[in-house]
Chain A
Amino acid sequence: MSALLRFEDWSDPVPAADREVVSQLPDDDQGRPPLLFVPGLGHGAWAFAEHWIGHAASRGFPAHAVNPRPGGDLRAQAHDVVQTAAALPRQTVLIGHGTGSRVVARALGRYPARAAVLIAPVLDGWAALSAALRSNPAGTVPALFGGRLKFSGRQLFGPDLPAEEAAAHLERIGARPRAELFARDGLPEPVGGPPMLVVGSPDDRVVPRPALDRAAARYGGAPLLFPGMGHYLMLETKWAEPIDAILDWLEKELPPAG
């Protein structure tokens, strides 16, 4: 249940900010709910625009990805997601990736999504940090002291992705981690009880398998797994498999009215 007393939102509302939204609509409106992809740390809406948004639109789902305001804290980012979702014409499916899942989880405490998908979710920042330290200590340690987080291709992608493609993506990925995105504090119960799906890979070197299981258990299920893929499922060579599975799940969970 969402909090009834929201003193912070009442007395100190998040100010308006520009939000970049990338959209692709299906050729004909079949009445399906819109999808709103929320990127996590280190990437932007472009990561979904590469393959997934167009593919979702081709399967009849209006697809959008939002870049929450740069530098915004978790509250501001969740606000940006809720504002974008509420501006869409129909009740929206929220889909977060990485720390974007944490933003989505927070937004779900406010906005009754039609459904929600958390992909390789970083809900437990400590688990992600220790995984990053194990797989990429040289790139991670400087970030602990306010420096740049330097990812490695091996850390983020599966072995199938050609090295030059991985290198091109890595050029675009990177950010200074914000402490609260990695916090471990409680997340709200989703309002309206939306169907929830957790998606990931057992070979993800950012979100370990036990963290995926815990995230799925928190929302009452088991994770849908894609072995052999890395953290960035939407940029992998086999990018179509997870998005098709997600869209199949949505079609099953949200049958058309009538």
Chain B
Amino acid sequence: MQDSPDLGDRGGAVCVVGAGASGLTAIKNLRELGFAVDCYERETSVGGAWNWRHDRSPVYAGTHLISSRPLTEFPDFPMPDTWPDYPHHSQVLEYLERYAKHFGLGEHIWYGMEVKSIVPVGDGRWDVTIQSTGGGSSRVQRYAAVVIANGHNWAPVTPEIPGDFTGQVIHAAAYKEPSRLRGRRVLVIGGGNTGCDIAVEAAQHATRVWHSTRRGYWYFPKYLGNRPADQVYHRRMSAWLRDRRFRKSAADLTRWGVPAPDHAPLESHPIVNGLLPHYLGHGRIEAVPDVTRYDGASVELSDGRRIEPELVITATGYRPRFDFLAPELLDIDEDGRPDLHLHAFARKYPTLAVVGLVQPSAGLFPLAHWQSVAVARWLRLRDTDPEKAGVVQKEESQRPLASWSRRKVVPTPRHWFEVDHVDYLKAVESLLTRMETAK
């Protein structure tokens, strides 16, 4: 008599964690290479960060893309060409929902299921423990590979500011719509894209707006003439010419008290906001330096000034979190920073990868697409031609970091995963080519 098959063993199937943009493209590209896929999504619908009904979504009512359509869409599934250059977040969600439906991804997604742990079982395979989001019993499934696509913009980083504040303090993650700002004195802390966007929204609704930034960034407009600025930057041109274009088109905000950048244009994540200079110039936003402490109703600034906002919004970013696995699997250091080849492949576990953990200078979706294509091809190559896979792995492990990661960036957690859109795609392209041609 034959043994009954182990229901928990999914054989050659791949487990994908999360059904946001990165998870969806991972499912699609793995399926395209013939893999069975189980995707676990803690929410009851797709879209991840872009689905603002989700607990962990950082988007607010006024969120629009900051990279234009052609640089944001999945390369094999364009957004409608009748959409605006910079679609609204609700359109991005609609796009992801259509992508999932178009490619029939829904039937591979288990909604309302959270991954609790991922443990290697020694032969390249993984035991994944899943539990319904609301609790209840858990089960363990065994997979040939795991692709983590849990996003990195949902666990807020809150600044440690000494003292007590009697006003209200929220993180940008909790900011949803401008009625919260109406008629109030607002301090926005953080010079990233979110901080600048919220400062601009506050300028339109609040009675007074302070915008506190620690360092100067390069502030780029959304349009150069009538063209989306990123489309002008992404012409085929040499690096020095691109650098020159960046420098020429960036806004100099120093006359309004914003610090000058202390780094080259692409050494920090680009800030894209054409309205910030507008509202600074109209006196609706007042640039202020770093916050040093809270003191009752006051906030003390590093230049000694005191201001009295009613609401403080800390737009101080997010950190990646991988609570479901042992840190050493992704070579996570004590600061919480994973060390992955191409920010995607676990260095010691060839069947473990992370998709979407990059901060590109243009849209994320194309990079997540090509990362997942590379992961799928890599897993397939391990199956079909282990010898060739070994050669590719050896060559790839010798690829210098500087060839795919920006050589020099401002050394903050904000820039852990910063990559240049073009350089990064070149690196992935070379990996894909090597997988095709390696002897």
Contact call A4/B426, Cβ cutoff below 8 A: yes
Contact mask B77-121 → A, CB, 8 Å, 1/0? Answer: 110111000000000000000100111100100000000000000
Report A-chain residues with C-beta under 8 Å of the C-beta of B328. Answer: none
Contact call A5/B426, Cβ cutoff below 8 A: yes
The stretch from A86-94, A133-141, A143-151 touching chain B is: A86-94
The yes or no answer to A28 lying at the interface (CB within 8 A) is: no
Contact mask B414-439 → A, CB, 8 Å, 1/0? Answer: 00000000100110110010001000
Report A-chain residues with C-beta under 8 Å of the C-beta of B296. Answer: none
Contact call B81/A83, Cβ cutoff below 8 A: yes
Contact call A91/B78, Cβ cutoff below 8 A: no
Contact call B104/A5, Cβ cutoff below 8 A: no
- Across the A-B interface, the 5 shortest Cβ-Cβ residue pairs: A16-B81, A10-B234, A11-B235, A4-B429, A4-B425
The yes or no answer to A64 lying at the interface (CB within 8 A) is: no
Known pairs A4-B75, A12-B231 / 17 extra A-B pairs, C-beta < 8 Å: A1-B436, A4-B425, A5-B426, A7-B234, A7-B236, A10-B71, A10-B231, A10-B234, A10-B362, A11-B231, A11-B235, A79-B81, A83-B80, A89-B98, A110-B78, A193-B32, A257-B104
A16 to chain B, nearest CB (A): 4
The yes or no answer to B294 lying at the interface (CB within 8 A) is: no
Contacting residue for B77 out of A6, A86, A193, CB 8 A: A86
Q: How far is the CA of A2 from the CA of B76 in the complex (A)?
A: 9
A8 to chain B, nearest CB (A): 8
Q: How far is the CA of A194 from the CA of B117 in the complex (A)?
A: 36
Contact call A5/B422, Cβ cutoff below 8 A: yes
Residue of A nearest to B231 (CB): A11
Q: A16-B81, A79-B81 are in contact. Are A4 and B102 (CB under 8 A)?
A: no
The yes or no answer to A111 lying at the interface (CB within 8 A) is: yes
Report B-chain residues with C-beta under 8 Å of the C-beta of A171. Answer: none
Contact mask B18-45 → A, CB, 8 Å, 1/0? Answer: 0000000000000010000000000000
Q: A15-B81, A90-B102, A90-B104 are in contact. Are A111 and B235 (CB under 8 A)?
A: no
Q: How far is the CA of A82 from the CA of B436 in the complex (A)?
A: 26
Report B-chain residues with C-beta under 8 Å of the C-beta of A16. Answer: 81-82
Contacting residue for B81 out of A13, A192, A193, CB 8 A: A13
The yes or no answer to A9 lying at the interface (CB within 8 A) is: yes
Contact call A257/B107, Cβ cutoff below 8 A: yes
Q: How far is the CA of A7 from the CA of B101 in the complex (A)?
A: 29
Interface size band for A:
20 to 34
Residue of A nearest to B77 (CB): A86
Q: A4-B428, A4-B429, A7-B236 are in contact. Are A14 and B81 (CB under 8 A)?
A: yes
Seen from chain B, the residues whose Cβ lies within 8 Å of a Cβ on chain A are: 32, 69-71, 75-78, 80-82, 98, 101-104, 107, 230-232, 234-236, 362, 370, 422, 425-426, 428-429, 432, 436
15 residue pairs A–B, Cβ–Cβ below 8 Å: A1-B432, A1-B436, A2-B76, A6-B75, A10-B234, A11-B235, A16-B82, A86-B102, A91-B102, A110-B75, A111-B76, A112-B32, A192-B76, A193-B32, A257-B107
Contact call A112/B76, Cβ cutoff below 8 A: yes
Contact call B76/A13, Cβ cutoff below 8 A: no
Q: How far is the CA of A166 from the CA of B77 in the complex (A)?
A: 39
Q: How far is the CA of A90 from the CA of B370 in the complex (A)?
A: 22
Q: How far is the CA of A257 from the CA of B31 in the complex (A)?
A: 13
Report B-chain residues with C-beta under 8 Å of the C-beta of A91. Answer: 102-104
The yes or no answer to A191 lying at the interface (CB within 8 A) is: yes
Report A-chain residues with C-beta under 8 Å of the C-beta of B362. Answer: 10
Report A-chain residues with C-beta under 8 Å of the C-beta of B75. Answer: 2, 4, 6, 110
Contact call B32/A82, Cβ cutoff below 8 A: no
B264 to chain A, nearest CB (A): 22
Contact call B70/A9, Cβ cutoff below 8 A: yes
Report A-chain residues with C-beta under 8 Å of the C-beta of B80. Answer: 83, 86-87
B235 to chain A, nearest CB (A): 4
Q: How far is the CA of A15 from the CA of B231 in the complex (A)?
A: 13
Report B-chain residues with C-beta under 8 Å of the C-beta of A193. Answer: 32
Q: How far is the CA of A111 from the CA of B70 in the complex (A)?
A: 14
A6 to chain B, nearest CB (A): 7
Q: How far is the CA of A16 from the CA of B428 in the complex (A)?
A: 30
Q: How far is the CA of A74 from the CA of B425 in the complex (A)?
A: 26
Q: Of residues 1 to 36 in A, which have CB atoms within 8 Å of B's CB atoms?
A: 1-2, 4-7, 9-16
Contact call B77/A13, Cβ cutoff below 8 A: no
Report B-chain residues with C-beta under 8 Å of the C-beta of A111. Answer: 76-77
Report B-chain residues with C-beta under 8 Å of the C-beta of A88. Answer: 102
Report B-chain residues with C-beta under 8 Å of the C-beta of A112. Answer: 32, 76
Q: How far is the CA of A36 from the CA of B103 in the complex (A)?
A: 16
B163 to chain A, nearest CB (A): 47
Contact call B426/A110, Cβ cutoff below 8 A: no
B425 to chain A, nearest CB (A): 4
Contact call B102/A89, Cβ cutoff below 8 A: yes
Contact call A89/B71, Cβ cutoff below 8 A: no
Contact call A192/B104, Cβ cutoff below 8 A: no
Report A-chain residues with C-beta under 8 Å of the C-beta of B230. Answer: 10
Report A-chain residues with C-beta under 8 Å of the C-beta of B232. Answer: 11
